[in-house]
Amino acid sequence: MAGLIVVLLAAMAGVAYADAKPEFRAGVSRLDITPEKPIWMSGYAARTKPSDGALHPLWAKGLAIEDRKGYRLVIVTTDLIGLPRVITDEVAARLEKRHNLRRAQIVFNASHTHTGPVVRPNLMTMYFLSPDEKQVVEEYARKLTGDLFQVASAALGDLKPAELRFGQGTAGFGNNRRNAKGPTDHSVPVIEVVADGKPKAILFGYSCHNTTHVAEDTKLSGDYTGFAQIELEAKYPGATALFITLCGADQNPNPRGKTEYAQDHGKELAESVGKVLSGQMVTLHAPLKSTYSNVDLAFALHTRDQFEEEAKSADKFKASRAREMLAKYDEGRPVRSTPYPVQAIRFGKDLTLVALGGEVVVDYALRIKRHYDKERVVVAGYSNDVMCYIPSLRILKEGGYEGLTSMIYYGQPGPFAADVEDRIWLAVAKAMKRVGAKQ
Ligand SMILES: [Zn+2]
């Protein structure tokens, strides 16, 4: 009798399970985006020659998620320095046309590897390319645009019933590079997508520059985040590991300078993710909500005279930036501000992912997480556009590379105006409200 009841209960549970629509469907995809020929590599002004082969492939990977009402989200991660707006806008427009996705439903993120190709026009003041080298870079950007569209489309084409879980670990190799005692964020957030009882996708993040390799390294690679993805995909066969860069603009890995260190950091990160996956994770629920907007960030006032002076500089980077700025003055449109993308995605009441553009310093993530302390929040940087560093007011006042001099290499006119953090903070607060995140 007891046996019969068990069988009946099991049958009823089976019926109920088959009738209920799964809470989510998820799809994954990947595309090898390793440049086929030697190409100028990005991230270090001190480089003297183009790439010479690869340690492992560079990937664009897609994760598509759909809730039971049909609301979809696509996250595209890349082993690249940073995706400029001209590329992400073009890909988003094509995705909107083909798949009826709004801009808010698409997230692009770059791992910020410094052993990847130059992605035009990101950081263009950093390079002085010959016409042939320039053509290789332009061809790569053109091909990349098609590749990113393809990888997002393929993930959307792979949607199958799935469960989503979230957990968080830590890894300690990221150091504040401005001040050894400065703030850090060692958390390793993980979203696991489970299908048929096995991990189908592992999306994980960390707040640290992807700069274990240095200017002298000429082999293309994803640096430590590339190695971490390789480790995870070996450990969880069939799973796609996707890395999302958080607010690590003022953080460097320690130690640096050797491929074996990049492997070690990758292992440490993968082990942290593995611990999260084998531990207690929180189930994420529908509905999915997302919002995306651009806020204008103003630069400190500048004048034409200032750039006429700077154009005479013996520093070729400064002189080049000055020429670009003078050209804008000539056109009657001096660069006074830059549009800044702010995005938020909420999974039920369980997790909010904030995706910010640019090289965001750790202060932003710490402030957002502190303020929304009743929420689970992950704050990504390097998302949707990387137009320059995004200093907090503290770092803007301190100056240095992240607050001031990096603007030269990004071809921006100078430091941000003093209200940069306020403007971003207001945009984040609006986005959080729109997706229903609680303070
Ligand atoms: Zn950087």
- Residue 112 Cα to ligand 1 midpoint, Å, equals 7
- Residue 215 Cα to ligand 1 midpoint, Å, equals 13
Q: Count of alpha carbons within 13 Å of 200, Cβ hemisphere only?
A: 24
- Residue 1 Cα to ligand 1 midpoint, Å, equals 68
Dump strand ranges (E) for 181-231.
Answer: 187-195, 198-206
- Residue 334 Cα to ligand 1 midpoint, Å, equals 25
- Residue 209 Cα to ligand 1 midpoint, Å, equals 6
Residues 380 and 354: their CA atoms lie apart, in Å, by 6
- Residue 407 Cα to ligand 1 midpoint, Å, equals 11
In this predicted model, what pLDDT tens digit does every residue of 71-82 receive, in sequence order? Answer: 999 999 999 999
Q: Which residues pair with 8 in a beta bridge?
A: none
**Residues composing the chain:** 439
- Residue 165 Cα to ligand 1 midpoint, Å, equals 30
The pLDDT, as a whole number, for residue 120 is 85
- Residue 27 Cα to ligand 1 midpoint, Å, equals 30
Residues 43 and 49: their CA atoms lie apart, in Å, by 13
Per-residue pLDDT for 3 more than 60?
A: no
Sign of CA dihedral 108, 109, 115, 121: positive
- Residue 382 Cα to ligand 1 midpoint, Å, equals 9
In this predicted model, what pLDDT tens digit does every residue of 146-205 receive, in sequence order? Answer: 999 999 999 999 999 999 999 999 999 999 999 999 999 999 999 999 999 999 999 999
- Residue 10 Cα to ligand 1 midpoint, Å, equals 55
For the chain, give the mean pLDDT: 94
Contact yes or no for 126/183 (Cβ under 8 A): no
- Residue 374 Cα to ligand 1 midpoint, Å, equals 31
Read off the pLDDT band of 439 (50, 70, 90). Answer: confident
How do the domains of the chain map onto residue ranges?
22-292+340-405, 300-330
- Residue 230 Cα to ligand 1 midpoint, Å, equals 23
- Residue 361 Cα to ligand 1 midpoint, Å, equals 10
The two three-digit tokens of residue 233, written as one number: 């995909």
- Residue 252 Cα to ligand 1 midpoint, Å, equals 9
Q: Which helix (H) or strand (E) holds 232?
A: helix 223-235
- Residue 159 Cα to ligand 1 midpoint, Å, equals 34
The pLDDT, as a whole number, for residue 122 is 75
